[in-house]
Amino acid sequence: MSSNRSKPHGLLAEFHTAADIFEAAIRCRDAGFTKWDVYTPFPIHGMDEAMGLRKSPVGWFTFCGGFTGFFTGMTMIWYMNKFDYPLVVGGKPLFTPLFAFPVSYEMTILLSAFGTLFGMFFLNQLPKFYNPLFKNERFKKSTDDRFFICIEATDPKFGTDATRTFLTEKCHAAVVELVED
Amino acid sequence: MALAGVMVTGAVVGLGMLPALGADAGHAAQVAQEAAHGAASHGGADHGHAAVSVFSLKQIAHSYLTAYMFCLSLCVGSLFLTLAHHLFDAGWSASIRRVTETLASLLFPWMLILALPIIVFAWTGNLHAWFRIDPASDHALDVKKVLFNPMAFTVMVPVLITLLGLLARQIRTWSIAQDKDGAAHWTSKSRKLAAGGIFFFAFGVTLLCFLLMKSLQHQFFSTMYGVYYFAGSVWTTLITLYLLTMWLSQPGRPLEKVYFKRQQQDLGVLFFAFTVFYSYIHFSQYFLIWNAAIPEETFWYVRREVGSWKWVGMTILFGHFFVPFLILLNQDIKRNMAVMIPVGAWAWLMQYVDMTYNVMPVLHPDGLKLTLWDPIFWLGMAAVLARLFWSDYRKNPAYPLKDPRLQEAIIHHEVPAPGASAAH
């Protein structure tokens, strides 16, 4: 795996139980690492707090999307029914927020969903076609029955030997080194 | 006893009218004819437009009914949350279930007793107009007389409240039995009862609010009315439960060791969800009626756009939905007491305004008219029930001690703060 010419990507620590990785995540958080992530086959409740993640800013994208959607719906119906081509239907007013509401509401949901999805893509720098983790055979078990922590070499606190010692001795994990290729 | 305070004005005053009942059959027939005439000419008006005196029995009866519907909403909301806990086999809510069980148990006998003045008021001609209308002279009543007749009302209202109350009491009895032996079969029994009970709950609550509140204008049609009352009820119950459990989990209080921030967050999220659900239902009712524009339905809202009732409607639109919705959108707000306590007080006010919006336009067609009776009955009845709740709650363990799911609620993902884990 490791070669002298390759740039190190980081260290991959493997755990057998959710409880182990939960403990280890708290230790990594308290050790002050910033560029690291946890990979588990299923969501573990409380992991966000254990990793010390701050609240995701995705909600702001959702809100902006929803806000835009609501007013797009209202404006669109006002423009079409009252301004561009006034048409009386069923003796109702040419425009009222009432009948525009269901459409605006659907637009709110649609653009909120877009805001959430694309906001998440943007914040996670997705799509990304390659990650050195994919080359690790054992990492495939992260979708099955193993739990992984990867601390990246770009982390200011990262030192190959010190971090390896930290992961093996403090976190009791099997550790392998990953390289960029 | 404190209960008597509310009962006195209700039952005694109502009974005072009884001798007048039936004393003058001719007069009754005349009243019925006038009411029928009113219904025909106003497209569903149910009383004359004469101003109602503050001290009239009609005013007292309507204020009492408004307060009763508010209090009933807390009891049925709690019963729903108890049933839902069992149906979903939930873990997180195990530690606060005793609170909803006890609140729901107020249905029997207390809410039943408090309902009796309503029946007396109705019989003495101070509430539902159709008690004095001959169905033969009113087509809208004639087609609904199976449900809307004095005998059906007198039998069904107490029976429904009693059965809902017994359902609540049965589940609580099993829950308390489990405190002693910790056997899991109590939980399965409750789940089975809840599975059937939820159907009875849906029909029971719908019928109750049809009979007590919707039939004040018996010409009205709305299939959403029951859900509408239910949605507002659970909404109010959730914020009440939120504040109550927060208080009960302060240091030195009984829920301190079993109730945590995560559960508080979940209750806040549910409250937010029901803010949306309520407005979804109420908007749908309004929108469908508005869109179809059938007079048998529209008169109900037309009535509520007269005078200041229009602004009461706007208060519900903005105060019951937009303001709480926008405040609660933020995730962290749901744990912020400086916001949630005022929101709770506001929610109580909004639910009361909503009940007023349903009941009072019948009595005051020209606009909102508040009297001293409104706060007296509302806060008085709530205070009496709060006292009864508290004495009942304290008789039993504050949470289901040996519930098999309690462990899940307790280890509800508490993570040590940075720096706290190093000692391990």
Strands of A8-15's sheet in order across: A36-39, A147-152, A8-15, A174-179
Q: Do B287 and A98 touch (CB under 8 A)?
A: yes
Give the three-state DSSP class for B184.
coil
Contacts of residue A98 in chain B, CB cutoff 8 Å? 286-287, 290
User: Does B10 score more than 80 pLDDT?
Assistant: no
Q: Do B419 and A30 touch (CB under 8 A)?
A: yes
Dist CA A79 CA A71 (whole Å) = 12
Assess B322–A contact: CB distance below 8 Å, yes or no. no
Q: What angle do CA A166, A169, A172 make, to 5 degrees?
A: 105
* Residue to substitute from B276, B314, B328, B415, interface A, most A β-carbons within 10 A: B415
User: Does B16 score more than 60 pLDDT?
Assistant: no
Give just the sign of the alpha carbon dihedral B134, B152, B65, B366: negative
Contacts of residue B424 in chain A, CB cutoff 8 Å? 23
Cβ-based interface (< 8 Å): residues of A facing B: 23, 26-27, 29-30, 45-46, 49-50, 52, 55, 59, 63, 90-91, 98-99, 101-102
Which is it for strands A147-152 and A174-179: parallel, antiparallel or unpaired? unpaired
**Digitized pLDDT (tens) for each residue of chain A, 181 residues in all:** 444 557 889 999 999 999 999 999 999 999 999 999 999 999 998 888 899 988 889 999 999 999 999 999 999 999 999 999 998 988 899 999 989 999 999 999 999 999 999 999 999 989 988 888 888 888 999 999 999 999 999 999 888 888 888 888 888 888 888 887 7
For B283, which residue in chain A has the nearest alpha carbon?
A98
Band (B27; pLDDT cuts 50, 70, 90): very low
Contacts of residue A30 in chain B, CB cutoff 8 Å? 418-419, 421-422
Band (B32; pLDDT cuts 50, 70, 90): very low
Dist CA A30 CA A51 (whole Å) = 9
Dist CA B306 CA B168 (whole Å) = 40
Q: Do A101 and B291 touch (CB under 8 A)?
A: no
Average pLDDT over residues B262-272: 94
What does the buried/exposed string (b/e) look like for B151-185 if buried means 16 or more CB atoms within 10 Å of the residue's CB? eebeebbeebbbbbbebbbebbebbbebbeeeeee
The mean predicted confidence, pLDDT, of chain B is 88
Assess B293–A contact: CB distance below 8 Å, yes or no. yes
Assess B421–A contact: CB distance below 8 Å, yes or no. yes
Count the Cβ atoms, other than its own, within 10 Å of residue A27: 18
Q: Do B291 and A99 touch (CB under 8 A)?
A: yes
Per-residue model confidence (pLDDT) at position B307:
94
Domain ranges of chain B: 54-401
Of residues B290, B413, B419, nearest to A45 (C-beta): B413
| pTM for the predicted model, two decimal places | 0.84
Q: What percent of chain A has pLDDT over 70?
A: 97
Of residues A23, A46, A59, nearest to B331 (C-beta): A59
